[in-house]
């Protein structure tokens, strides 16, 4: 999606599939940041990682090979729109998502240094790294050429990692995941005690929903090309696309920061209190791709609603859904499974449920039914 | 487990983990074999693949690099005990399981030729190929050095294959699976109509349970060494081990064909009407391994019973369980999940549920709890 180096010609090939890294830091006893602030909605604070200066992030993003296009803030976090996707900075958590041939993993070492050096965040609590299978793996750089190399890289840098190849490995919608198991449960206890039980009696919750779509309909693709007769590209063009496509209606109450690239391509960050979503579109016909990701909590029934809304906009031939969720009780699993039940017009090729230590993951892959073409 | 080339010294390294291939052939219209015979218990027939002469199988097994040690039969199938594991020949189905550095995949081409040439079985209906991650992958030959190579090999030979990496890929109990989706549902209809509904109203059922165990207890390992003062090795020794270990009590009503190797190692085939089980043990301390596999149907509750019985005999530090089962209804999934719930003395590291087209698969990995050491 980068204006700088990706869209030389309108039908250049581009690897839309993103690398997604999420790092949670634990509190350091006696250190400045107070982790409870992140979870108490009455005391949003610009502290921890949010205090790190912009030039420090810029220099870290140089390692990744991407640049900041725009930044918006709310009381809870900072949302960076990048030349290749998104970055969300919370006081004790960073989400960094980059596409194309960026070298995200190479920057982890510097990222941990920054957390330690500027915020005394020395304890890595949770790390998640995931991505879809690449369409052009040979174009990738460093460890990103091969999943096994990425796993080796992460295993050398971080403790207690578990790597999973989720879905059909000889298909085009395989999904890879590396996650650690936190060694120190004390951190979890601190987090939980800092986050009082909500009205339903459940405690600390975390969810990530991802919808990764390929072979979008031609009609959809056209909407993500810049047509100078309609107005400017950039953030103004992004806002126009939000309305034209209906993307602004997925979470109508959210603050949106969207961007239309030249000659085509689109990115958006959404902010909704302490939660985010992001959408990235690669509309080149020969490698079309769109992704939607959010950590906005939903009732179980509404996971399916979110999927339906997103699919209706992009009309892909194929898509995969992953829902990653902290385990609440045994019903959780059943509801997760049901949330990726039938999608009208699509047949489900795979459904896989993973039970990790504290999280459940459901993965499902869908393909358009022939008679709905 | 081979006497010929594997146990030069008592503590030689040996790859116990088996490659497991299962091929179901569909009926060829107008051909000699009648597939319904296989599923009608009142008409067991020595037909189809069971008519193939021994020297034809011997020559096919030469390609795999293993030999027949013993053969037993019942009305339904032939059970071959191999120098490296087991082979079961049904009229329209072959199960071939080989360990060590055997080259099982290389023989598929010949196997399909034999089915076509001798039995006019030209239609491959279902193929399953699976194995645990190897301890010594570099010792393997041909495509078996690397799972991706095995997948390429199978994809070139057979249509509609889906490959899965099940469980933690950077751990020691990863499990790989390749399976096809039958293109011709007519075959399924024929199979189902040939197999009348049983008393519970359910139709065609297929189940495979595998328990793959590593780091067996020292006490267990000693039982699988040949002690000349106790008697002979070979089939006589095998029968002695069956009683000494309690392995004969897992299915007391089964016909057992067991074998004790020199200086150590054990294999057994079990026959129970139209179903089989097999057990293979590599007792070398530095690479100890035992496997149990069966297609004997069980009530849902008793999957856990089977696991408990087997684990109690081998007392491994780590083991994985896979249960592969035709889907009956939605309760099937829940009961499969519950069947690998808690195992006393072990903590479950992973539990993964796959929903394939007609089958469900549950995978779980267990490790001994520290305080139960």
The pLDDT value recorded for residue B34 is 47
Establish if A164 touches chain B: CB-CB under 8 angstroms. Answer: yes
Contact status, residue B114 vs residue B56, Cβ threshold 8 Å: yes
Please indicate, yes or no, whether residues A184 and A55 belong to a single structural domain of this protein: yes
Active-site residue B99, yes or no?
Answer: yes
Classify the complex by whether its ipTM is higher than 0.85, answering yes or no. yes
Residues of A within 8 A of B354 (CB-CB) are 350-352
Dig out the tokens for A302 from the structure. 């509404």
The pLDDT value recorded for residue B36 is 47
Please indicate, yes or no, whether residues B154 and B263 belong to a single structural domain of this protein: no
The pLDDT value recorded for residue B250 is 95
Active-site residue A267, yes or no?
Answer: yes
Contact status, residue A211 vs residue A292, Cβ threshold 8 Å: yes
B323 Cβ contact list (under 8 Å, min separation 6): B207, B208, B209, B210, B303, B336, B339, B340, B361, B362
Averaged pLDDT for residues A273-300: 94
pLDDT band of residue A182 (cuts 50, 70, 90) is: confident
Residues of A within 8 A of B164 (CB-CB) are 165, 167-169
Q: Give the DSSP per-residue string, B129-197.
A: EEEEPPSSGGG--GGGG-HHHHHHHHHHHSSSEEEEEES-TTSS--EEEEEE--S-HHHHHHHHHHS--
Please indicate, yes or no, whether residues A132 and A236 belong to a single structural domain of this protein: no
The pLDDT value recorded for residue B80 is 98
DSSP three-state, residue A371 = helix
Residues of B within 8 A of A354 (CB-CB) are 350-352
* B272 located within any domain: yes
The number of beta carbons lying within 10 Å of the beta carbon of residue B43 is: 11
Residues of A within 8 A of B169 (CB-CB) are 148, 151, 163-165
B311 Cβ contact list (under 8 Å, min separation 6): B211, B213, B319, B343, B346
Q: Outline where chain A has alpha helix (H).
A: 54-64, 108-119, 147-157, 185-194, 218-222, 234-245, 300-314, 330-339
The pLDDT value recorded for residue B205 is 84
Residues of B within 8 A of A168 (CB-CB) are 162-164
The pLDDT value recorded for residue B335 is 84
Contact yes or no for B352 and A355 at CB 8 A: yes
Q: What Rg, from alpha-carbon coordinates, does chain B have?
A: 20
Contact yes or no for B164 and A165 at CB 8 A: yes
Angle, helix A300-314 to helix A330-339, in steps of 10 degrees: 20
Dig out the tokens for B270 from the structure. 């079990």
Percent of chain A with pLDDT over 70: 85
Establish if B342 touches chain A: CB-CB under 8 angstroms. Answer: no
- What's the count of helices (H) and strands (E) in chain A, helices before strands? 8, 16
Chain B closest CA to A290's CA: distance in Å?
24
* B353 located within any domain: yes
Contact status, residue A260 vs residue A233, Cβ threshold 8 Å: yes
DSSP three-state, residue A128 = strand
Please indicate, yes or no, whether residues A177 and A279 belong to a single structural domain of this protein: no
* A8 located within any domain: no
* B306 located within any domain: yes
Residues of A within 8 A of B148 (CB-CB) are 169
Chain B closest CA to A369's CA: distance in Å?
15
pLDDT band of residue A181 (cuts 50, 70, 90) is: confident
Q: Is the pLDDT of residue A30 over 70?
A: no
Residue in chain B closest to A149 (alpha carbons) equals B170
Contact yes or no for B352 and A352 at CB 8 A: yes
The larger pLDDT score, comparing residue B199 to residue A149, is at A149
* Pick among B130, B150, B355, B361 to test the A interface (most A CBs inside 10 A): B355
Percent of chain B with pLDDT over 70: 85
Averaged pLDDT for residues A316-323: 97
Residue in chain B closest to A181 (alpha carbons) equals B349
Q: Give the DSSP per-residue string, B320-361.
A: EEEEEEE--SHHHHHHHHHHTS--TTEEEEEEEEEE-SSEEE
Listed residues B138, B173, B194: the one ending a domain: B194
CATH code, A70:
3.60.90.10
Contact yes or no for A169 and B163 at CB 8 A: yes
Establish if B118 touches chain A: CB-CB under 8 angstroms. Answer: no
Dig out the tokens for B361 from the structure. 């698969």
Establish if B338 touches chain A: CB-CB under 8 angstroms. Answer: no
pLDDT band of residue A350 (cuts 50, 70, 90) is: very high
Contact status, residue A50 vs residue A90, Cβ threshold 8 Å: yes
Please indicate, yes or no, whether residues A32 and A180 belong to a single structural domain of this protein: yes
pLDDT in tens, B195-227: 444 433 445 789 999 999 999 999 999 999 999
CA atoms within 13 A on the CB side of A159: 7
Catalytic residue among A99, A119, A174, A287: A99
Measured distance CA(A353)–CA(A364) in Å, rounded: 9
The pLDDT value recorded for residue B119 is 94
Chain A closest CA to B186's CA: distance in Å?
20
The larger pLDDT score, comparing residue A126 to residue A8, is at A126
The pLDDT value recorded for residue B196 is 42
Residues of A within 8 A of B165 (CB-CB) are 164-165, 169
A182 Cβ contact list (under 8 Å, min separation 6): A26, A125, A126, A160, A188
Residue in chain B closest to A352 (alpha carbons) equals B354
Residue in chain A closest to B354 (alpha carbons) equals A352
Active-site residue A92, yes or no?
Answer: no
Listed residues A163, A194, A225: the one ending a domain: A194
The pLDDT value recorded for residue A28 is 62
Measured CA distances, A242 to A10, A72, A283, A308 (Å): 21, 17, 15, 17
Please indicate, yes or no, whether residues A257 and A162 belong to a single structural domain of this protein: no
Averaged pLDDT for residues A145-174: 96
The size of chain B, in residues, is: 373
User: What HEC string does A19-83 produce?
Assistant: EEEEEEEECCCCCCCCHHHHHCCCCCCCCHHHHCCHHHHHHHHHHHCCCEEEEEECCCCEEEEEC
Measured distance CA(A327)–CA(A337) in Å, rounded: 13
Please indicate, yes or no, whether residues A225 and A359 belong to a single structural domain of this protein: yes
Please indicate, yes or no, whether residues B169 and B240 belong to a single structural domain of this protein: no
The dihedral built from the CA positions of residue B190, B30, B52 and B44, taken in this order, carries a sign that is positive
Catalytic residue among B2, B83, B85, B320: B85
Q: Is the pLDDT of residue A7 over 70?
A: no
Averaged pLDDT for residues A268-275: 97
pLDDT string in tens for chain B (373-residue length):
544 444 434 567 899 999 999 999 987 654 444 444 444 444 456 789 999 999 999 999 999 999 999 999 999 999 999 999 999 999 999 999 999 999 999 999 999 999 999 999 998 999 999 999 999 999 999 999 999 999 999 999 999 999 999 999 999 999 999 999 876 554 555 555 444 444 334 457 899 999 999 999 999 999 999 999 999 999 999 999 999 999 999 999 999 999 999 999 999 999 999 999 999 999 999 999 999 999 999 865 689 999 999 999 999 999 999 999 998 777 778 888 988 998 999 999 999 999 998 899 999 999 999 875 4
Q: What Rg, from alpha-carbon coordinates, does chain A have?
A: 20
Dig out the tokens for A14 from the structure. 């581009």
Please indicate, yes or no, whether residues A180 and A288 belong to a single structural domain of this protein: no
Q: Is the pLDDT of residue A215 over 60?
A: yes
Q: Is the pLDDT of residue A186 over 60?
A: no
Listed residues A130, A162, A194: the one ending a domain: A194
Q: Could you tell me how many CB contacts below 8 A there are between chain A and chain B?
A: 58
Measured CA distances, A59 to A24, A62, A152, A236 (Å): 21, 5, 25, 27
Please state, rounded to an integer, the average pLDDT across all residues of chain A: 88
* B7 located within any domain: no
Chain A closest CA to B138's CA: distance in Å?
16
pLDDT band of residue A199 (cuts 50, 70, 90) is: very low
Residues of A within 8 A of B333 (CB-CB) are 337
* B233 located within any domain: yes
Of B162, B170, B337, nearest to A155 by CB-CB distance is B170
* A43 located within any domain: yes
* A187 located within any domain: yes
End-to-end CA distance of chain A: 28
Q: Is the pLDDT of residue A163 over 80?
A: yes
Please indicate, yes or no, whether residues B163 and B43 belong to a single structural domain of this protein: yes
Dig out the tokens for B193 from the structure. 């109509």
Domain count along chain A: 2
Establish if A367 touches chain B: CB-CB under 8 angstroms. Answer: no
Please indicate, yes or no, whether residues A128 and A260 belong to a single structural domain of this protein: no
167-206 in A: which are within 8 Å (CB) of B? 167-171
pLDDT band of residue A302 (cuts 50, 70, 90) is: confident
Of A151, A333, A334, nearest to B170 by CB-CB distance is A151
Strands B359-368 and B316-326: antiparallel
Active-site residue B85, yes or no?
Answer: yes
Owning domain of residue B81: 19-194
Residues of B within 8 A of A356 (CB-CB) are 350
Residue in chain B closest to A353 (alpha carbons) equals B353
Catalytic residue among A6, A86, A267, A288: A267
Of A163, A171, A355, nearest to B168 by CB-CB distance is A163
In chain B, helix, strand, coil percent, each to 5? 30, 35, 35
Please indicate, yes or no, whether residues B172 and B315 belong to a single structural domain of this protein: no
């Amino acid at each position: 999606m980068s204006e700088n180096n990706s869209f030389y010609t309108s039908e250049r090939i581009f690897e839309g599939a993103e690398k997604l890294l999420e790092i949670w830091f634990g509190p350091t006893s006696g250190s400045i940041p107070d982790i409870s602030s992140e979870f108490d909605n009455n005391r949003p604070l610009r502290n921890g990682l949010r205090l790190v200066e912009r030039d420090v992030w810029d220099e870290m993003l140089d390692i990744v090979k991407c640049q900041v296009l725009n930044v918006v803030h709310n009381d809870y976090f900072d949302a960076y729109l990048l030349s290749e996707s998104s970055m969300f900075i919370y006081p004790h958590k960073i989400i960094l998502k980059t596409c194309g041939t960026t070298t995200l993993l190479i920057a982890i070492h510097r990222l941990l240094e920054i957390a330690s050096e500027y915020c005394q965040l020395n304890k890595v609590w949770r790390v998640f790294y995931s991505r879809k299978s690449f369409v052009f793996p040979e174009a990738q750089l460093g460890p990103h050429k091969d999943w096994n190399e990425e796993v080796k890289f992460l295993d050398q840098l971080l403790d207690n990692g578990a790597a999973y190849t989720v879905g059909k490995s000889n298909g085009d919608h395989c999904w890879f995941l590396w996650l650690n198991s936190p060694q120190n449960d004390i951190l979890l206890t601190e987090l939980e005690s800092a986050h009082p039980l909500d009205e339903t009696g459940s405690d600390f919750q975390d969810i990530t929903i991802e919808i990764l779509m390929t072979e979008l309909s031609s009609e959809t693709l056209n909407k993500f090309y810049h047509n100078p007769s309609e107005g400017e590209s950039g953030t103004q063009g992004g806002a126009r696309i939000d309305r034209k496509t209906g993307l602004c209606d997925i979470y109508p109450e959210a603050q949106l920061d969207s961007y239309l690239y030249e000659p085509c391509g689109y990115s958006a960050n959404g902010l909704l209190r302490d939660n985010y979503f992001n959408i990235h579109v690669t509309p080149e016909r020969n490698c079309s791709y769109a992704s939607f990701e959010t950590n906005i909590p939903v009732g179980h029934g509404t996971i399916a609603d979110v999927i339906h809304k997103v699919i209706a906009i992009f009309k892909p031939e194929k898509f995969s859904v992953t829902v990653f969720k902290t385990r609440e009780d045994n019903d959780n699993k059943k509801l997760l499974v049901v949330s990726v039940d039938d999608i009208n017009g699509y047949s489900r090729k795979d459904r896989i449920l993973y039970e990790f230590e504290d999280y459940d993951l459901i993965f499902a892959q869908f393909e358009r039914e022939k008679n709905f073409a």
